[in-house]
Structure 1
């Protein structure tokens, strides 16, 4: 069945024309004889691997940002209307450079959308027109700017979700491959001098989406980017330092995919003076109109709203230039008002110009009550795990810390530097010392008798505890994460170097014992006990060099070791494959603990077989077990940043009254829309909230 004037089949939701996950090019019907026989042929073209990867990525991104939009309450109740106009600020070039009217377009319009024209852009519009501008812009470069708290990131999130829905539901299935998958990333952690935009984005995708894990994941992500199958939405451009921001914009010139950049207007103008993204179109997010704000605030209320809310709405509509209307011109203040005031609360007190003479005073009032409102039990919301007072105390402490460090990023691996390292080191040293004392005493008793056990047991406990305490103190310095995951530690080149080192060492040991000594070791024993040297070499050549530094299987800590690390190991990274900061923390703890166990086993395997072969089990095994235990402890929990963060949370709880389970508290604050996650870092919902909490009296 076809449409009139068309040879394409009509798609019916309940008919056979739907083939999930494939491109359908049929059916073709052939009737034979007197009408009693019909042969039906379906032409089904399977998706290419690139198409399948793009569709899987689209599904993952949609799940991620629908959840994040729900946490930020951008979807329920109905979102505030997004209004924009072409910016008059000097943040980009001429509009004709972006529309390429009369010239050659860098990108053709997305299927189903028309090319954007200068006259059409001058009219401005809402979210629908914003998507049309995104999909029809010839340059493929869109810059969303505006003042602080104007709702730029919210507009970008809603645009991303609209683009995903358009790709999934509106675009013709046979042309879906021509529509890129929008992915939002923070610019945090990119060094444009070391990586191109595509290489950096491919690395981020391989760490944040399980689709791109595995041996060829990063290569597949890079292929999607270079083929223009991904569009990048880059947030937090204004949070990057000036020179680095300029370098990023300059590097983005070479990107072969669509770009949407989000920035405060002031920083965008300053950047454009030094590096201007050619062909970029700057759109300014406009203030919320009083009528839209009133409709949004009354939407979740009954048909006849409470008198206080009705008075507030009438105040907005009757006086669109009032102090209240100015305060509620941004999404932040409007959403804060809904959070702070319940249905029966006296919200009309904000109309009192005596108490609130300026828009800033209204915003400050809302910010001051945001934490209390988020942690007050209300029907229909999860019961808070913390009291409003405890949450306010903890968040104020975090805000002060970040303000003192002149940053908005709360990096959990920097938390150990917030407290004195000595109590933590003493606690770790005490635990390790007691453990070694308990294990050493019976071993020494069996080998040398009770006298030596009483003498050497305490010595072993004190020495091991002191050494562990010294190692633990190093985890208190602010530092990047030493590893991004298994693939970064066990890279192909690192594993290859480890295998070569293992084989050479095994053959060397076997020849040495056979030719130069009276002891002949079996070949299997030589290969078994030298396997840890290959494992240690792999860690040294990968990103696990800190795990084996100073152990028996470490290559050393001198200049040669530093040279190997510098030549063969990638620089430390600041994010991991997990998306949320708490997931990153848990991933890091588990990874380091398991690697520490492997290091300990490797040391034990290195020493125990030879020692027991030559000296007997009771003489050789204790030495190997003790060395393996020490290596496992120092490579695992003693120097683990995740463990150090958990111990620091206990210190901060005792000194500042913050929650003992600090990482769980931070994730809960994110669910309550007080914090947001940007890659592996937490940030306050808005810089003004951090500023207000840090300035409040403690």
Structure 2
């Protein structure tokens, strides 16, 4: 605080009092003016909330600019209360007084039925979000209705409203955060715990342990509002579990879903007190204004002709097409300022709305993979030609299989397995043969060692190649993460077997009069505990048959189907996460299985033949135990090798899984649990027809 005189030459004075000011006191000529300023420190929650608001605003303003949602005005958003049976009656969400779960945001009125009667626009949507007493909002609509677009625009409107508020009111206005439901297991994590983890991963200010706790506190105190996208990308049973868990979330919620999936979910579980709003088609006048304003000031005659047509003939084919945000933004992507956009009005070429949509779909992939000025960090890794060729191939494959689901673990069946089997045999056989030959050399001499090592290499390669050839047929997905392998039941069984085995071995040696240290007994019997853990869980499929290359019957977990729910029914996890699990965790489990076997094999063999032979024999058999599950029987490895084959034959990207994830980020694909789908079935059908009409090489 400083005190400053009104005239020159007056020295500055300071005061030690603290006021919520400034407060000025001045009397007489040449008197001293005292300025008092507040020095009350801001709370850590206020600082964290403002920091988060700045980061979220920067993130989504950049995303909205890339999606052409703000140039120069936001894309129109229209809504009304839905008549679909996806939530309870609106009266349950508009309760006021003591029944209200959330007070209206400062400056907004409590929501009443009067506000909902005629629907509204983006500003009205924010009023609903901030005034609904239940704090629960459900946005639904058909495919391409612009649900994510509406959520992004609502989020930015909420951030601007918060920024305009005074500091006292700002404490009561939550920071909206848009998250995908991917990765949440509602059976293991509360909504606020999961959301706190997501904030810690996405925003640097929450990445420490203290930051994670701060994020959880913000959520529990209602200082963050969750905008949750992707409910329709989750499988049926899990959707109901998520909706049930979200009912008790301590913060405001905005949940997005396609209408069909929302209706199916509501049959099993409903978001308590939620107000369900359905997004409406964009009216021709709004579409015309947005398209015209999105061009430069002196729009070409073609754009002016199109916009006049939309206003004068609202029932025309082009007006029907441009009633959905998807097609509006696609028109902006396809046609530049001076492009002949008025060709869409040619009724001879485009007599029906479907004809216009097909024409735009011809350019959708090119538009998604064309670099945009001002966004160097979003420059596509693949050219439009490669992207379109790859997506056409994928669409044709799915059409041949009669499905809309792209399961990456089925990709190995799209390429001949023999080249992969030969490659893996060439890797596994010599490695196993070299270690075996070294063992035989110490036992019977170098000549026999080389001969037997060569035979072992040939036999090992033949068995390894034969095992991989089984991937010529579709395989089920064995697991999607460590939770599927190390279940509570399997860990309990493994720990019990290990304890009993170690105690029995120690006691047996005690009875023989040849005592063995308990730590050595525990080390020798660890393999039995680990094996029991793997056999009693889905990890059995990772290590079965690794000694001789042949299976040994079903695992114990197969007899307990109630404890082995499908992956997609236990949690929401994306395809790339599942693939990384098989590349990483399965490799780790294979190494653990081989190392565990060596820990048992080496001491046992050394006790009979000596440490040198024990180590060599243990290394050779352990090597085989590691290589089979890590390389030969790993679906992720088979998929990566098949992608290389497809690249050589079809011209698709070598890193096919990375391409699929990139296409998902560009809104061409979506993920439903561990599988990919084309975001719009019309796009899949269109790409399939395109490939069918291409000339055969």
Q: TM-score under structure 1 normalisation? A: 0.76
1:625 shift after superposition = 0.4
1:528-579: per-residue Cα shift (whole Å, max 9, x none)?
5445555556666777554444568xxx966784389879x77563599998
Q: Which runs of 5+ in 2 are unaligned?
A: 2-17, 26-30, 693-697
Partners of 1:155 and 1:514 in 2: CA distance:
74
The equivalent position to 1:338 in structure 2, one of 332, 336, 343, is 332
Describe the shift of the 1:174–1:90 C-alpha distance in structure 2 as closer, same or farther (beyond 3 A): closer
Partners of 1:304 and 1:524 in 2: CA distance:
84
Partners of 2:371 and 2:537 in 1: CA distance:
49
Partners of 1:379 and 1:173 in 2: CA distance:
41
1:87-115: per-residue Cα shift (whole Å, max 9, x none)?
35565554333312688334332444321
The answer to whether the Cα contact below 8 Å between 1:288 and 1:328 also exists between their aligned partners in 2 is yes
Counterpart in the other structure of 1:9: none
Counterpart in the other structure of 1:400: 396
Residue pairs, 1:272-287, within 5 angstroms? 279-287=273-281
Describe the shift of the 1:483–1:587 C-alpha distance in structure 2 as closer, same or farther (beyond 3 A): closer
The answer to whether the Cα contact below 8 Å between 1:146 and 1:264 also exists between their aligned partners in 2 is yes
Describe the shift of the 1:342–1:249 C-alpha distance in structure 2 as closer, same or farther (beyond 3 A): same
The equivalent position to 1:133 in structure 2, one of 108, 128, 131, is 128
1:428 paired to 2:424 = yes
The answer to whether the Cα contact below 8 Å between 1:541 and 1:564 also exists between their aligned partners in 2 is no
Q: CA RMSD in A?
A: 5.1
1:41 shift after superposition = 9.6
The answer to whether the Cα contact below 8 Å between 2:238 and 2:568 also exists between their aligned partners in 1 is no
1:693 paired to 2:690 = no
Residue pairs, 1:215-364, within 5 angstroms? 233-235=227-229, 258-265=252-259, 279-299=273-293, 301-364=295-358
1:84 paired to 2:79 = yes
Counterpart in the other structure of 1:104: 99
Could you say what secondary structure the match of 1:99 adopts? coil
1:599 shift after superposition = 3.1
Counterpart in the other structure of 1:4: none
Residue pairs, 1:555-574, within 5 angstroms? 561-562=556-557, 571=565, 573-574=567-568
Describe the shift of the 1:697–1:339 C-alpha distance in structure 2 as closer, same or farther (beyond 3 A): same
Moved more, 230-239 or 628-637: 230-239
The answer to whether the Cα contact below 8 Å between 1:163 and 1:182 also exists between their aligned partners in 2 is no
Partners of 1:500 and 1:214 in 2: CA distance:
36
Partners of 2:267 and 2:541 in 1: CA distance:
43
Residue pairs, 1:32-51, within 5 angstroms? 44=41, 47=44
Could you say what secondary structure the match of 1:696 adopts? helix
Describe the shift of the 1:302–1:439 C-alpha distance in structure 2 as closer, same or farther (beyond 3 A): same
1:459 shift after superposition = 3.8
The answer to whether the Cα contact below 8 Å between 2:536 and 2:556 also exists between their aligned partners in 1 is no
Describe the shift of the 1:101–1:421 C-alpha distance in structure 2 as closer, same or farther (beyond 3 A): same
1:608 shift after superposition = 2.3
Residue pairs, 1:125-204, within 5 angstroms? 125-163=120-158, 170=165, 172=167, 176=171, 179=174, 182-186=177-181, 195=187, 199=190
Q: Which runs of 5+ in 1 are unaligned?
A: 2-23
1:116 shift after superposition = 0.8
1:451-493: per-residue Cα shift (whole Å, max 9, x none)?
53355334422443344345545666454462435x7767899
1:447 shift after superposition = 2.2
Describe the shift of the 1:66–1:428 C-alpha distance in structure 2 as closer, same or farther (beyond 3 A): farther
Counterpart in the other structure of 1:674: 668
The equivalent position to 1:415 in structure 2, one of 406, 411, 417, is 411
Partners of 2:118 and 2:174 in 1: CA distance:
26
Q: TM-score under structure 2 normalisation? A: 0.76
1:317 shift after superposition = 4.0
1:650 paired to 2:653 = no
1:136 shift after superposition = 1.3
Counterpart in the other structure of 1:371: 365
Describe the shift of the 1:189–1:416 C-alpha distance in structure 2 as closer, same or farther (beyond 3 A): farther
1:417 shift after superposition = 4.8
The answer to whether the Cα contact below 8 Å between 1:484 and 1:575 also exists between their aligned partners in 2 is no
Partners of 1:25 and 1:465 in 2: CA distance:
83
Could you say what secondary structure the match of 2:138 adopts? strand
1:443 paired to 2:448 = no
1:495-551: per-residue Cα shift (whole Å, max 9, x none)?
787667656544544444454387x75666545544555555666677755444456
Moved more, 163-172 or 322-331: 163-172
Counterpart in the other structure of 2:596: 602
Describe the shift of the 1:407–1:242 C-alpha distance in structure 2 as closer, same or farther (beyond 3 A): farther
Partners of 2:84 and 2:240 in 1: CA distance:
18
1:304 shift after superposition = 1.8
Counterpart in the other structure of 1:119: 114
Partners of 2:442 and 2:404 in 1: CA distance:
58
Partners of 1:267 and 1:535 in 2: CA distance:
42
Partners of 1:500 and 1:328 in 2: CA distance:
65
The equivalent position to 2:479 in structure 1, one of 471, 474, 482, is 482
1:332-383: per-residue Cα shift (whole Å, max 9, x none)?
1111112222334322211211111122211110012222344456766766
